[in-house]
Structure 1
Amino acid sequence: MIRYGILSTASIVGRFIAGIKESQAGEVYAIASRTVAKAKEAALQYDIKNYYGSYEELYEDENIDVIYIPTVNGLHYRDCQNALLHHKHVIVEKPFTLTSIEAQKLFDLAKQNQCFLMEAQKCVFLPTTLQLKKLIEQNVIGDIRYIELKAGFPGRFDYDHWMYDLSMGGGALYGSATYTIELMQFLFDNPHFQIDGSCIKCPTGSDEICNFQLKMNHQILVSSTIAMNVPLKNEAVFYGDKGYIVIPNYWKSNHLDIYFHNGETKHYDFPYQSEFVYEINHIHECLKQQLLTSPIMTPARTMEATHLVETLYQKWQEDTNE
């Protein structure tokens, strides 16, 4: 049984824990927060026996095999580094880090300490995504020329929340761009990317709504819009010359539909209890094989996604300074 330590009581924690329990090959051994009271409250909520009022206590617990890090985006580097220095395997929520230099340092440190390290990216392990990849490879909707992804999360945060602080990894692009980039990497087997985009900033200076374009292999245009201030139709649509495929909530989807130009349709259902279980099963398989990195969520894919996001933020900063 693989024993997990959960670093933080962030809102995503409950769904990740549900995935661990569903996997039947892992258990949540302990959870840590910045205060004992918060950690105890979470432990009672999720039926976890051990809890700590500091991250350091979690790092030092010799009973823990893997540490899951869903802390504030801007703290991923610090928290992952500390876990690796304590010789723990680590799963880091997306975005992995805010800079490609930080990402490279973490993968180097993991290799040095013989620890498994992976960016948490559940969408590439979903049955819906695997079916979509098959449909693309089988040319079911013909040659794909355009892909559109939209994700809107209005009203979740006030302007004083860290999600509106760029220095802490806030902003729409940091929040969700890796879903688009890493999904395309997986579906199209590491395509060549050219990236461009624009954003509208809010009073805090962070991007509240953004749109970026990926030109893949000089053949396919991908348009991705992410909004923190307006409800969008959360879906990905793949357009081919024979029809199109619609995937609602593409980062956690449980079904997809095909619409052919001749009027025919086809529906696929992939119900699940936890969208995290497929990712967690993959982690367990990697650990069983004593791998240090994932063959699917590879360091190269994480590094490229980090670099592309970093590139756009640098462009937007330069545009602001002009």
Structure 2
Amino acid sequence: MPTKVELELHRDLNKTFRSFDLQTVAEEVFSSLNKNFLVDFGTLFLTGERGQNIERVFRMGIPSDRHQAERFGMTKIDIEKLVKDMIPRFYNYAEERDKRAPVIEGKSIGILACFPLQLVYNYDALIFLGVAQENVEKTLLKRQGFDFLCNFMIDISYALKNAIIAKRLNELITKDDLTMTYNRRFFEDYFAEELDRARRYNSPLSLIFLDLDGLREVNNRFGHAMGSRTLQEAAARILNAVRSIDKVVRYGGDEFCIVLPETETKGATEVAERVRQKISSTPFLLEETGGIEITASFGISCYPIHAVTKEDMIKRADEAMFEVKSQSKNNIKIAQPLKRFP
């Protein structure tokens, strides 16, 4: 391994240790690997115990709508096994003719390296690095480079651990005590950051606003304690219906919002429909009251089709939701596109 590359990697990592934001750490790590090792594609996954609850944190070179490509042909079972075994894997598809090379954006993968990492709080990580077949001769990610990275990943894992510890501490002050969704303070900062990221990478960002229909009646008939129980149950159903990359926020009272990174209107509508069905399919407070029918009204806005600023995205989603609320309820409405979009 060239000494200059080793020094550059360590210099980059020292800068990364100054950050405690998980997304920023991931961006800086992959930027350094791309620059120094000449890799074309990469993904960072966080997993829960035994590889379950897979959450993609970052991907490089893979479009936002290519969710299958980010796993490089691996199934959920494959990922669980990689994390359980904790053994780095190296695949040279040019030499291993019996293995079918993954294809990303029309390019066959020539080399794929997988690095499982033990972190903290029952979190593990899995890093995929891929090199297109056409660039195999240029890359440093050959067997020697892979062996070097197996040791260097220990240092990368420290940076990820620091970010996860900071994330857990931050959750203590950014979660709503009643529903365990994120609170308004978290939303204001997080949504602004995601919108900046969407602009930087020219990727979509969607926002769902939803308001529970019928909660006021619960409060009036059964008291505010039962109203709080209903909010908790509704939040649990919402969290169970969204994807791991989505963030659920209690915006205020009986109003929630969902931030959906790298998601266009179609994907946001699918998530909203899953949440709508989860809320309306089963009565609430069955044991306490015999069952109360609760539904929700939804509004959706998407960057850049419906709005380009944080304030306008919130306004457009809220207006769409209010229109449903004032008419049919238990439905979903998408904001009107900006004039420059058909």
**TM bucket normalised to smaller:** under 0.3
**TM-score scaled to structure 2, two decimals?**
0.25
The one of the two structures with greater contact order (alpha-carbon pairs below 8 A, sep at least 6) is 1
Larger Rg: 2
Name the structure with the higher strand share.
1
**TM-score scaled to structure 1, two decimals?**
0.26
